[in-house]
Structure 1
Amino acid sequence: MSSSESSGRPERWWCAGRRLGDRGFVTAEAAVVLPTLVLFTMALVWMLLAASAQIQCVDAARAGARAVARQDPEGVAVAAARQAAPRGATVSVRRDGDLVRVEVAADSPGPTALGIGLRLRSEAVALAEETVEVGA
């Protein structure tokens, strides 16, 4: 029995001063690690884009609600909201008594073909100015 068999470690083969038993390990490890790093980086970028689009939805809803509360025509308020909203967003305006509600909804940017897309949504509420009494 040789010394390598008794120690439980595999025997390494040497050729011209180099070990041949580890050949190809770096390539195999890189083949596993690099795609994982690329997917992780893509997921981080997608999450940043989705967060940015959500912030745009919040800003757009606030801009629309402010415009409607100031008694701007509904078309002007919707245009103001669409200008601040992400591309392809839908804007809806409704009144509930003295309150004005503007909702902005959009699909998140990124790989929607893979079924990973999120529906981003934000709603802003404002008190209509005609209901605020002057000098109260």
Structure 2
Amino acid sequence: MRCRGCWSERSARGRDRGYVTAEAALAVPALVLLLGMLLWGLAAVTVQLRCSDAARAGARAAARGEEAAAVADVARSAAPGGAVVRVEREGGLYRVRVTARTLGPGPLALRLGGEAVAHAEG
């Protein structure tokens, strides 16, 4: 003989399985989106650091008295691909600016950069 409560417990367990599926259907895309955002943020930080390092390398080359073209080449070799390097002389200072775009669609493709200043020799 079957008890009435037993049948309803089995039925309730079956319905709970549907909730787990719905929760997974919402959680998995959210986790994938979160992972994508974290990877994009890491890539943006990497571009920023590489631009800053490239600007410092260019400023060191300028401080050694190298020509502006050589300074730009030094900075470009340390910069991320597609970076724009500008070398300006302001009185006794060289200012090196390096800018590059991050990867990403639409508004996520930011332009980041770094800048360094060095005293010119002689």
TM-score range, shorter chain: 0.7 to 0.9
Q: Indicate yes or no: 2:56 matched with 1:67.
A: no
CA offsets, 1:19-65, max 9 Å, x none?
Answer: 33323111111000000001101111111111111110011001111
Shift of 1:121: 1.4
Distance 1:59 1:68 in 2: 14
SS in 2 for 1:86: coil
- The reply to whether residue 118 of structure 1 matches residue 96 of structure 2 is no
Cα distance in structure 2, aligned partners of 1:46 and 1:96: 36
Give 3-state SS (helix, strand or coil) of 2:33's partner. helix
CA contact (8 A) 1:86 1:106 kept: yes
Of residues 84, 88, 94 in structure 1, which corresponds to 2:82? Answer: 88
Gaps of 5+ in 2: 1-6
Instruction: State the match for 1:129 in structure 2.
Output: 121
Per the normalisation by structure 2, the TM-score is 0.87
Given residue 35 of structure 1, which amino acid in structure 2 is its aligned partner? P
Q: What amino acid sits opposite 1:41 in the alignment?
A: L
Residue type of the alignment partner of 2:8:
W
From the CA coordinates, give the structure whose radius of gyration is larger.
1
Partner of 1:133: none
Report % sequence identity.
48
**4+ residue segments displaced more than 6 Å:** none
Runs of 5+ in structure 1 lacking a partner?
1-11, 131-136
In the comparison of the two structures, how many residue pairs are matched? 116
Counterpart mapping for 1:90-109 below 5 A? 90-108=84-102
Instruction: Kindly provide the amino acid, as one letter, of the partner of residue 100 in structure 1.
Output: Y
Pick from 24, 36, 42: which aligns with 2:30?
A: 36
**Pairwise mapping of residues 15-54 of structure 1 onto structure 2 (< 5 A)?**
15=10, 19-54=13-48
Residue 70 of structure 1: how far off its partner (Å): 1.2
Q: Deviations over 1:77-136 (max 9, x none)?
A: 11110011011100001111001100001111x21x332121101110000111xxxxxx
Higher RCO structure, 1 or 2 (CA under 8 Å, sep 6+): 2
